[in-house]
Structure 1
């Protein structure tokens, strides 16, 4: 009975990793569709978001079934509840990638991004991809060194987000209102994408440390201790 329970917990982790991988693919393709004004690619991102939604619903059902059948307590209960919350973050990341793709579709055949901002938006897409890739690895391994890296990547995304606003507030006073709205939304989508990834990282840190204290302090302390920060072996539950 206990082995079956551990297998069910393992499935939660696999579900979350699959969602993170789909979110990575979505944000990568959405960024490319945005910069290349590729409507067909944007449509594939929008359609593919349904799969992330399905996985989130499956995760929720699995968690509810575990709660009903197994009545977990202590650490096991923490795993199930935290998995539920991480699933919501990852589902939202998929939604934000879809929003980027919808913006590309809305302005097609024109490009949403002016030439002078292409490097900044490209960089935001690259940071988003890197963040969600680390998120998938973090869920699978619980290696808190990755959680610390995610915080640093999020700081970079915040700086890029500020660059978008700086562009809108300086230079030509005649910037079109439509451009201002598009870039404001775009910057927000990428910034929130990164925030949700950091939220997942903090929840993994909570699973490992059992504390919601200051995240960076917790991850630094945990990674300094080989007894606390350990890489999960294949098949180990979430």
Structure 2
């Protein structure tokens, strides 16, 4: 019985890692389609999203079956519940990459981004893909130290996201409301993709240690 449970948990962990890898690949391709106005690549991201959806359903079914049939307790229960929560985070990562690709498709053959923000999104795309790869890595290794470092890597994404707003609010912005809306939405998609990758890492830390790491932003006390 125990051997069967361990095998099923290993299979679930492998599927979660595969999901994270697909989400990272989707964001990499979506970014390329965005920067290059590449319609076939955007279409590929959109059509490939079904793979993430199917894996998400399979992971949830497997996790709920473990709950129902194995009745896990203590650390085992923590593993299964964490797995269910991680499925949701990775599913959202895939959906955010899908949103990027759909905007690229909608604006084709035009480029979505004004030239002066291309560099921001090239870097945000790079960071998102790296965070996606980091999430896949910690799911496979269950290394809490590596997982904790993803929070630091996310800080660079947050900085870029904040700075992007200074560009949008600048009086020199001359690209109109529609472009500003696209840039705002896209910036949010990348920022949220990174947040979900960090959340996966936090859940891995909880899975391994039994303690959920505290978000530094949540512990900051108000100034007197």
Query: How would you bin the TM-score normalised by the shorter chain?
Result: over 0.9
Q: Is the 8 A contact 1:202 1:215 kept in 2?
A: no
Q: Which residue of 1 aligns with 2:180?
A: 180
> What stretches of structure 1 of length at least 5 have no aligned partner?
217-238
3-state SS, counterpart of residue 149 of structure 2: helix
Following superposition of structure 1 onto structure 2, how do residues 1-238 of structure 1 map, counting pairs within 5 Å?
1-214=1-214
CA RMSD of aligned residues (A): 1.1
Q: Distance in 2 between matches of 1:101 and 1:84?
A: 26
Q: Is the 8 A contact 2:114 2:175 kept in 1?
A: no
How far residue 145 of structure 1 moved from its aligned partner, in angstroms, is 2.2
How far residue 148 of structure 1 moved from its aligned partner, in angstroms, is 2.3
3-state SS, counterpart of residue 117 of structure 2: helix
Q: Which residue of 1 aligns with 2:220?
A: none
How far residue 164 of structure 1 moved from its aligned partner, in angstroms, is 1.4
Q: Is the 8 A contact 1:168 1:175 kept in 2?
A: no
Q: Is the 8 A contact 2:167 2:173 kept in 1?
A: no
> What stretches of structure 2 of length at least 5 have no aligned partner?
217-224
Q: Is the 8 A contact 2:202 2:213 kept in 1?
A: no
Residues 1:190 and 1:210: Cα distance change in structure 2 (over 3 Å): same
Q: Distance in 2 between matches of 1:174 and 1:137?
A: 42
Q: Is the 8 A contact 1:205 1:215 kept in 2?
A: no
Q: Is the 8 A contact 2:56 2:87 kept in 1?
A: yes
How far residue 42 of structure 1 moved from its aligned partner, in angstroms, is 0.1
Residues 1:128 and 1:213: Cα distance change in structure 2 (over 3 Å): closer
Q: Distance in 2 between matches of 1:71 and 1:145?
A: 30
Q: Is the 8 A contact 2:148 2:202 kept in 1?
A: no
How far residue 213 of structure 1 moved from its aligned partner, in angstroms, is 4.3
Q: Is the 8 A contact 1:96 1:193 kept in 2?
A: yes
- What is the CA deviation profile of residues 2-41 of structure 1, one whole-angstrom value per residue up to 9, with x for unaligned ones? 1111000101100100000000110000000000001111
Q: Distance in 1 between matches of 2:156 and 2:104?
A: 24
Q: What TM-score does the superposition give when structure 1 sets the normalisation length?
A: 0.88
Q: Distance in 1 between matches of 2:6 and 2:69?
A: 13
- What is the CA deviation profile of residues 119-140 of structure 1, one whole-angstrom value per residue up to 9, with x for unaligned ones? 1100000000000101000011
Q: What TM-score does the superposition give when structure 2 sets the normalisation length?
A: 0.94
